[in-house]
Amino acid sequence: MNAKVAAILAKKGKSPVSELTAYDYPTARLLDEAGIDMLLVGDSLGMTMLGYPDTTHVTMEHMLHHAEAVARGAKNALVICDMPIHSFDTPEQAVANAKRLMATGVDAVKLEGGVDKEDCIRAITEAGIPVQGHIGLLPQKVLEEGGYHMKGKTDEEAAAIMADMEAVVRAGAFSLVIECTKKSVAEAVTRACPVITIGIGAGHGTCDGEVLVFHDLMGLSPWFVPGFVTPKATLGADIMRAAREYAAELKLPE
Ligand code: KIV
């Protein structure tokens, strides 16, 4: 097994796993030097870096471009690259695209889906590529579901999320993201899950680790902060202040 993946798996039940998104070289290098365990080249880059309204506009070419930069910036962190919408519609396509993403130098790929994507995940892991699954709220389904809605509110939904976890684990994933589920569902899934669960919007301390979008944590897109995030920095405000200061200090020749 890949040494970085083994080191992450060894943290199960011992110490929390930290994951943050990174989309470029300087951010990857800073987060890596800060000791963040896993860096995710998330397809959230469609919004944070490219200004699209959601992740359904993101292509393989976008992901390849950003993955290369992040891979160059990270030495110790395990770098995971998201598979964009329609890049894993069949197992054959999933393997071919996972190989293209891995060729950028990342360590693993992530893809959304559970029972419905078991065959794609298995095909990728059987090709020797580590996979992080993603269950609960699936942002790539935002258009078909008419928005972002918390998952696991009914017993039926909670059971479906548990079945998704089981499918992802059966298919050989080393980790899975649990997004925006009820706290109790994330806790139950984590208790039952032999691999690393990573929560987002699913309650604090409910999973083996947590992931956040870098821009949300650092206050870099102050026009949108999800309710479950407490920003730890004010980079957006700092940039505006510094830009104003710079412009105010300019001088014309005497
Ligand atoms: O794309 C992304 O940033 C993600 C995280 C929200 C888990 O998938």
Q: pLDDT tens across 108-163, in order?
A: 999 999 999 999 999 999 999 999 999 999 999 999 999 999 999 999 999 999 99
pLDDT tens digits along 172-220: 999 999 999 999 999 999 999 999 999 999 999 999 999 999 999 999 9
Give the active site residues.
179
Whether 74 has a pLDDT exceeding 90, the answer reads yes
Residue 162 in contact with ligand 1 by CB distance below 6 A: no
Structure token pair of residue 149: 């809605």
Residue nearest to atom 2 of ligand 1 (CA): 42
Residue nearest to atom 1 of ligand 1 (CA): 42
Cβ-proximal residues to 127 (8 Å cutoff; 6+ apart), any chain: 95, 98, 99
Ligand 1 atom closest to residue 21's alpha carbon, by position in its atom list:
3
- Ligand 1 centroid vs 45 CA: distance in angstroms? 9
- Ligand 1 centroid vs 252 CA: distance in angstroms? 46
Whether 239 has a pLDDT exceeding 90, the answer reads yes
pTM above 0.95, yes or no: yes
Determine the pLDDT at residue 167. Answer: 98
Determine the pLDDT at residue 114. Answer: 98
Determine the pLDDT at residue 105. Answer: 98
Determine the pLDDT at residue 140. Answer: 98
Backbone φ and ψ for 31, nearest 5 degrees, come out as -70, -35
* Rounded CA Rg of the chain: 19
Whether 1 has a pLDDT exceeding 90, the answer reads no
Residue 107 in contact with ligand 1 by CB distance below 6 A: no
Residue 42 in contact with ligand 1 by CB distance below 6 A: yes
Reported as a pLDDT band with limits 50, 70 and 90, residue 224 is confident
- Ligand 1 centroid vs 2 CA: distance in angstroms? 23
The single-letter DSSP state of residue 83 is: P
Determine the pLDDT at residue 18. Answer: 98
Average pLDDT rounded to a whole number, residues 81-87: 98
Rounded CA-CA distance 120/92 in Å is 8
Rounded CA-CA distance 145/168 in Å is 22
Structure token pair of residue 49: 């870096």
Residue 209 in contact with ligand 1 by CB distance below 6 A: no
pLDDT tens digits along 29-56: 999 999 999 999 999 999 999 999 999 9
Determine the pLDDT at residue 168. Answer: 98
Residue 132 in contact with ligand 1 by CB distance below 6 A: no
